[in-house]
Structures are given as C-alpha cells and as structure tokens.
Structure 1
Amino acid sequence: MWERLLKWDRDTFIYLNGLGIEQYDVFWSTVTQFTTWIPLFLLFIALFFLKFPKREALYRFLTVLGLAVFIALITHITKISVARLRPNNTEEINTLIRILKTPTDYSFFSGHASSSFSITMLVFLFLRQRVKWAILFFIWPLLFAMSRIYVGVHFPIDILVGMVVGLLSGWLFYAFYERFIALGSRSVHP
C-alpha cells in the first residue's frame, strides 16, 4: 500500500512537472518566491488596521506572527525527522524532470504550502465578516503551492500534507485567539 502511494506520488509529480512550458518559467519562478508576496502581506496588515481598533488589530497581527513561527518550527522539525529527498535531489527521477530551483534541504512536508495556507486561513477567519472578497486570499497559497511542483522541488503528497497542516494550524490559532486573546483585546479601550 505504502509503495503504491509513493509510486503514485512520484508518477503524478513527473506528469505535472512535465506539463511545464518554458515560456512560463519566469512566472512560476517568480510566484514561488516569498518576496513576490510582500504586497499581499502588507495588504493583510493594512486591512487589520483599517477594519479593527488599533489594539485589536495589533493582537491579530501578533497572532499571525506567532502562527508563522509555529508553522516554520513544525515544518522544519518534520522535514528533519522524515528526511525525504526533494525530487530535484532524487537520482532516479531528476534527469526526467524540469528543475528550476535546487534547494538541498528535505521535502516532506512543503513549508511553502504549510505557511501560506496557515497564514491565509487565519487571515481569512479574522477578516471574513469584514471583507466580502476575503475568500480570494486563497489564490495566493494555491499558486504558491502549485509552483513547487512546477519548479521541481516538491512531490504532490508534500504539498497536500503541507496544505492540511497549514489549514488546521490556521484554524487552531484562530480558536486560540478567540478563546484566550479576543476578549482582552476588545474589552480594553485605547
């Protein structure tokens, strides 16, 4: 069973990565960079301070930062513990695939997927009642995670697990905020 799953993962990766077209390489190489998304992060911060009182906005922002640290730690620990090679470092397939990036750390699970989906989930939950189009925030993690297959550095399972971990972590931090922080941030007037 496990071998069949890994074979499906490898074969699906090779197929999806092979769909890449050279004319889109610059697009996907740009999409996969964290720095490309800085304007979106600034939008998130601006929306917090536009839609909530200052103290509440600050607490929400700090909760997002706490989540970012948490997800980075859990992703790093998992990568070291599992020690799965990235596709670009896997000798049996790296001559069959398109490689646009060459990281040397481990693959499971995708930090791009876990971080982007966790932050987006938390920001969405914070803003969904105040920003009608907040669901559009999920375009970012979808593109960001898909780019990892295109540039040759993550298998589909790495991305799917990273996505699930991210969504659950975002929801967990939202529940934590509502349970322990929200009342205090709303009851104190600046």
Structure 2
Amino acid sequence: MVWVTMRNSWIPFYVVLIGWLIFQYRKQAPGLILTLVVAVTLSDQMASSVMKPLTLRLRPCHEPALQKLIHPVLECGGTYGFASSHAANAFALAMALWLLVGKRFSWIKWTFLWAILVSYSRIYVGAHYPLDVLAGAGIGVVMATISAVLQQKVVERFFIVKKNQV
C-alpha cells in the first residue's frame, strides 16, 4: 500500500496512458489530454484549496486522541485531510476517461478499480478517514463530469461542421 499511495509510482501508467491516447486518437488526443488535465486539476484544487481549509478536519495521523491507536507507515503529510486529493484525482482521471473514451474501449472501466485501490491506500497508511476518501471520490467524479461536458460542448461548437452549414 505504501507503493500504491506514492504519486511517483504511477508515472509510468500516466506516460503509457498519454502515449495510448495519442496513438488511438491522433488529432483529437490533445483535446482529450487537456480535458483529463483540467478534470484532475479542478478536483485537486477543490479538495486541497477549498475543502481542506474550509473544513479544517485533522488527518487521523494528526489527531491526538488516535496517536496511540494508529501506526502510520509514512510521514503524515499536511495537517488537514478532508477531502482526499489522492481520491479526488484518481476518480477524476477514471471518470473522465470513462466519459471520453469508455464507449469505444470498455476496458477503461478497470481504471475505477485502480482509483479504488489508490483511495483505499490512503486509509491504509493512516492519512485519511473513509469519509475523506468518499468525499474525494465524489469531487473527482463531479469535476470529471463537468470537464467532459465542457469538452463536448467545445468540440460541438468549434470543431464539428454542422450538416446545414455545408
């Protein structure tokens, strides 16, 4: 779980994903990749810059009453944990991929299993409560949906030639 929770562990996955999108979608790939980046950025900022300062909920590893009950396997991280940025980002990526290319590639649904694993790892290492992870997952799904809908509107407005205009 320590390896799963480390952000740098997934860099090869992200590189392969970007390469695959470029190979599969060529001209459309930049827009798809930009949409993924926007979804993850929005989810990360909502969790880290809005929710954590707004709620000021201590992480389990910073909660004095829990110090004798938990044994963190990593450094605790920031003081506040609601909502989990790891969960938000993982679910934003999985949901955005599903919305953008899931109809064509049904195996994309397995990225949700990856997102669940990453999210659970945050509970395992003592960085988050289950509700932190659920809230993060919800934030990720919402931000991915917003990003995918906006991407579709941009594509329809600027890149699809309508039949009556031809």
State the TM-score, normalized to the length of structure 2. Answer: 0.88
Q: Which residue of 2 aligns with 1:117?
A: 91
Q: How does 1:1-190 map to 2 (within 5 A)?
A: 28-54=1-27, 56-76=28-48, 77-101=50-74, 102-182=76-156, 184-185=158-159
Give the SS at the match of 1:133: helix
State the alpha-carbon separation in 2 of the partners of residues 73 and 150 from structure 1. 23
How many corresponding residue pairs? 159
How far is the alpha carbon of 1:184 from its aligned partner? 3.0
> 1:127-146 CA distances to partner (integer Å, 9 max, x unpaired)?
21232311111121111000
Does the 8 A contact of 2:40 with 2:140 survive in 1? no
User: After the TM superposition, which parts of structure 1 deviate over 4 Å for at least 4 consecutive aligned residues?
Assistant: none
Cα-to-partner distance string for 1:51-83 (whole Å, 9 max, x where unaligned): 2132x1101111111222212221122101111
Is the partner of 1:52 in helix, strand or coil?
A: helix
Unaligned ranges ≥5, structure 2: 162-166
Q: CA RMSD in A?
A: 1.6
* Deviation, structure 1 residue 98: 2.3
Mark the runs of 5 or more structure 1 residues left unpaired by the alignment.
Answer: 1-27
Separation in structure 1 between the aligned mates of residue 34 and residue 25 of structure 2, nearest angstrom: 14
CA distance in 1, matches of 2:130, 2:159: 40
Percent identity of paired positions between Structure 1 and Structure 2: 26
Report the alpha carbon displacement of residue 47 of structure 1 after superposing the two structures with TM.
2.4
TM-score, length-normalised on structure 1? Answer: 0.78
SS of equivalent to 2:106: coil
Q: Which moved more, 1:150-159 or 1:130-139?
A: 130-139
Further displaced range: 64-73 or 163-172? 64-73
